Amino acid sequence: MVTEREQATIRVLRELRDYAREKMEAKLTGECLEIIGLTAKEFRLPAHLIFGGRGSETAARMRAMAMYRCRKLTEASYPELGRVFGRHHSTVIHAVELMEERYGEKQLIGDFVERLTEGDGQ
């Protein structure tokens, strides 16, 4: 039997876990939004297309590239990225694998990290 004190401890621990998760997701979302914005700029398309429906082939490629870059440049898991992009995590896995097969890390990341850090004033 769980005592009242143990129940209170469990509640506090759950609240702390939820708070930490929210903070991590907010940080991740901010990092991904920056990556998404720069990726959209490269494609000369509005960033909102990344979050849209199926869209054009170009928009789908831009979305897949942004997913790949977010996966490689953040500590995000596939489910976390799925939430950021409004997609199922299996869609993110497929996008990452597709980008690796088609382009390879050097071409996809290349100068992108430099452009990303230039935005930070570094």
**What residue ranges in the chain does DSSP mark as E strands?**
none
Give the predicted TM-score (pTM) of the model. Answer: 0.71
Q: What is the pLDDT of residue 95?
A: 93
CATH number at residue 48: 1.10.1750.10
Written as six digits, the tokens of 5 are 């004190």
State the total domains in the chain: 1
Mean pLDDT of the region 52-67:
84
What's the chain's Rg over C-alpha atoms? 18
- CA atoms of 18 and 12, how far apart (whole Å): 10
Per cent of the chain over pLDDT 70 is 78
Write the pLDDT tens digit of every residue in 78-122. 998 998 888 999 999 999 999 888 887 666 676 676 666 565 544
State which residues form the domain around 47. Answer: 4-118
Residues 6+ away with beta carbon under 8 Å from 77: 89
Q: What is the pLDDT of residue 119?
A: 57
User: For the chain, how far is it from start to end, CA to CA, in angstroms?
Assistant: 56
